[in-house]
Structure 1
Amino acid sequence: MITCTSIEEVRQHIDCIDRDLVSLLARRGNLVNQAAAFKNTTAQVKAPSRVEDVIAKVRAVAEDCGASAEIIEKVYRAMIAAFIEEELSAHAASQRTSL
């Protein structure tokens, strides 16, 4: 745990974490795009049971880390929805080009 002595130090640490988070989100997005190639239907893209599995896992991780499971769930639901939207667009485009 980091103990900061000024707001500037807090902000520097937050900026560093934000860089790491964006890098990790980019890596996750790349894998989501790869997964799209293995899906044939929009139902497979939406995969509600997979979404709920992921939510359950990250809530458990949040609790293990001492984070708010509710906040983590909200963040993940927003992130997953954005990735699904992107994946649905890519899927629709691939369906048009395969016709």
Structure 2
Amino acid sequence: MDVRCSSIDEVRQRIDHIDRNVVSLLAQRGNLVTQAAAFKKTTDDVRAPARVEQVIAKVRGIASDLDISPDVVERVYRAMIAAFIDEELKAHATLANKA
């Protein structure tokens, strides 16, 4: 969807709206990541480098389909995945301590 804005204020307003949606989606993803920790037996299972690479390949393909730089999308996803892995490791440790 290529929307043309008529002012910088309109650009910023649209970006703010998108940011709200992105953060909402991150919250949903984070909830699922926390749930996933319960299904993983080891911290290696949490880190899952092969799965990370699968996700990166998938989102690079999506980026190409949507005509956005796959390199930009990969950088964003690698940062996001690293942050979520840190959170999942904390959740995993908490669950392991309860067991």
Q: Same fold (TM over 0.5)?
A: yes
Q: TM-score range by the shorter chain?
A: over 0.9
Could you say which residue in structure 2 is the equivalent of 1:11? 12
Rounded to whole Å, the distance in 2 between the matches of 1:33 and 1:92 is 11
The Cα shift of 1:9 comes to 0.3
Asked if 1 retains the 8 angstrom alpha-carbon contact of 2:38 and 2:95, the reply is: no
Identity %: 63
How many angstroms apart in 2 are the aligned matches of 1:92 and 1:59?
Answer: 31
More relative contact order, 1 or 2 (CA 8 Å, 6+ apart): 2
User: Counterpart of 2:6 in 1: which secondary structure?
Assistant: coil
- Please name the residue that 2:69 is paired with: 68
How far does residue 97 in structure 1 lie from its aligned partner after superposition?
Answer: 2.4
Question: What is the DSSP-based 3-state SS (H/G/I as helix, E as strand, rest coil) of the residue aligned with 1:60?
Answer: helix
TM-score by length of 1: 0.96
Aligned residue for 1:82? 83
Give the CA deviation at 1:78: 0.3
What is the number of residues matched between the two proteins? 98
**Does the residue aligned with 1:76 lie in a helix, a strand or coil?**
helix
- CA RMSD in angstroms comes to 0.7
Structure 2 spans left out of the alignment, 5+ residues: none
Deviation at 1:20, TM superposition (A): 0.5
